[in-house]
A = this chain, B = another copy of it.
Amino acid sequence: MADNKKMVEEITPMDVDFAKWYTDIVRKADLADYSSVRGCMIVRPYGTAIWENIQRLLDGMFKEKGHENVMMPLFIPESLLQKEKDHVEGFAPEVAWVTHGGEELLSERLCVRPTSETLFCEHFKKVIGSYRDLPLLYNQWCSVVRWEKTTRPFLRTAEFWWQEGHTMHETAEEAMRETEQQLEVYARLCEEFLAIPVIKGRKTDKEKFAGAERTYTIEAMMHDGKALQSGTSHYFGDGFARAFEITFQGRDNKPQYPHQTSWGLSTRIIGAIIMTHGDDNGLVLPPAVAPVQAVIVPVAQHKEGVLEKARELRETVSKVCRAKIDESDNSPGWKFAEYEMKGVPLRIEYGPKDIEKGQCVVVTRHNREKRFIPVEELPARIPELLEEVRRGIYDLAAERMKEKTWTAATMDEVKRLAAGPTGFIKTMWCGEEACEDKMKDEAGLSSRCMPFEQETLSDVCPVCGKPAKTMVIWGKAY
């Protein structure tokens, strides 16, 4: 294979250089590539197939709860972006501005959407008349642009792909329920399908979305102990509705402001998959989103009858999962390494001896466990094995999160822990932004969230000593 460009090379071990390990996987598993456009990535077929699987799962869950997809414009006129004060302050510094259409200088600059609250509000104003029009439950799949200074594939890019849900409700209570419900949808995606344990909680005011009253988040822990915000759900109250003068005729026949939410999950989640499950041999994919769930590698395929039998096996396996056979003339060893790099959950080895015995060898990617399985049992065993992989990689991640989560009652303890291995540090907090700033300045920690599952660790804030209001999880974040 002298001219086979893609040799399976070693990747940098994660203990040597975690950042390099990450980009090695992105490149060698053919997930994404750089483009000549500053900060913009190309998502290659394998990465796109993972995203399509995530889309299908999420889209199904959205529609099950009554949401409908729409397609909104890519551009936002400057005056529209400026309608909600906090929102424009948050986003204006990082948007891309279109100034010319063809040769013509535009009378008003347009920004490429960094998020679409303003566009949705403009539309809501037109289509909402009465309480009978509510709730409006919209979502869109698109890419958005934020002019980031430093970028890394999937984790932070100038352009990224996501879905953004935007809903309008008759009452504040209903909007709050929607905000919580959609966070649950994200948590379910992560835990049940991506095998990523997450902590659900609320962001502090300092960390919340520009223009939101409340932001809920799910936070995951990566291999290196750093946090990755994996999905957010915002409650806006009627702030945007007032700014955009959106009213509806209430049941009492009086005009009222509707209550709003938005929520988003992006291609960042692919970064979370890599850094939660990957290892020094490459990617480890959760079965639910793996483009190939089982790869069949014929052994001694030049021998008579092997390929024919392997193809028959592929037919069988295809009935219960997304299966592929690699008939290329690369060696079995090369193929083993290649599909480990690509994180395929199950490898099925099948050679003359196996054929003779009516069995095959199934290796689970995450722990390299080998099993000899009679061919006739495969259709029943494969779904079980895929579930075993999901549970196995979930448990590994959950265990790591448990091991790397510590509790601190005093600022000294916080600093001592922050100087050690990276992880989550739980403390109480008084609720003051000054104390949050001090955590950043003195211990290098940002607040990840105020978890829904609260504990009482002490009575006071470790920073200022004043009475504590809530427990916060602190960490270093992507």
Contact = CB atoms under 8 A, between A and B. Distances in A.
Contacts of A36: 77, 80, 122
Contact of A145 (B41, B74, B97, B122): B74
Contact of A161 (B71, B75, B133, B159): B71
Nearest to A1: B132
Residue among A37, A41, A110, A142 facing the most chain B CB atoms (10 A cut-off): A37
Nearest to A5: B129
B129 A35 contact: no
Given A35-B123, A93-B102, A42 B72 contact: yes
Main SS of chain A's interface residues? mixed
A68 B96 contact: no
29 contacts: A3-B129, A4-B132, A5-B129, A5-B133, A33-B123, A33-B126, A33-B127, A35-B119, A36-B77, A36-B122, A37-B75, A37-B76, A37-B110, A40-B74, A42-B71, A42-B72, A42-B123, A43-B70, A45-B70, A48-B70, A49-B68, A52-B69, A71-B161, A75-B159, A95-B101, A95-B102, A96-B101, A96-B110, A104-B147
A103 interface: yes
Contacts of A40: 73-75
A366 B40 CA distance: 48
Interface string A407-445: 000000000000000000000000000000000000000
A44 B73 contact: no
Contact of A98 (B44, B112, B143): B112
A51 interface: yes
Contacts of A99: 97-100
Given A45-B70, A74-B143, 19 more contacts: A3-B129, A3-B132, A5-B130, A40-B75, A41-B73, A42-B70, A43-B71, A48-B69, A49-B68, A73-B159, A74-B145, A75-B159, A92-B102, A93-B102, A94-B101, A96-B101, A97-B98, A104-B147, A112-B112
Contacts of A147: 101-102, 104
B37 A77 contact: yes
Interface of A: 3-5, 33, 35-37, 40-45, 47-49, 51-52, 68-77, 80, 92-104, 110, 112, 119, 122-123, 126-127, 129-130, 132-133, 138, 142-143, 145, 147, 158-159, 161, 249
A325 to B, nearest CB: 15
Nearest to A110: B37
Contacts of A69: 45, 48-49, 52
A210 to B, nearest CB: 15
A371 B35 CA distance: 59
B45 A68 contact: yes
Contacts of A133: 5
B51 A3 contact: no
Which 8 pairs, one residue from A and one from B, show the smallest C-beta to C-beta distance?
Answer: A45-B68, A40-B73, A101-B147, A43-B71, A97-B100, A5-B129, A3-B130, A37-B73
Given A3-B132, A5-B130, A45-B138, A35 B97 contact: no
Contacts of A77: 36-37
Contacts of A130: 3-5
A69 B291 CA distance: 12
Contact of A73 (B35, B73, B94): B35
A41 B126 CA distance: 14
A33 to B, nearest CB: 7
A96 B93 contact: no
Contacts of A33: 123, 126-127
Contacts of A47: 71
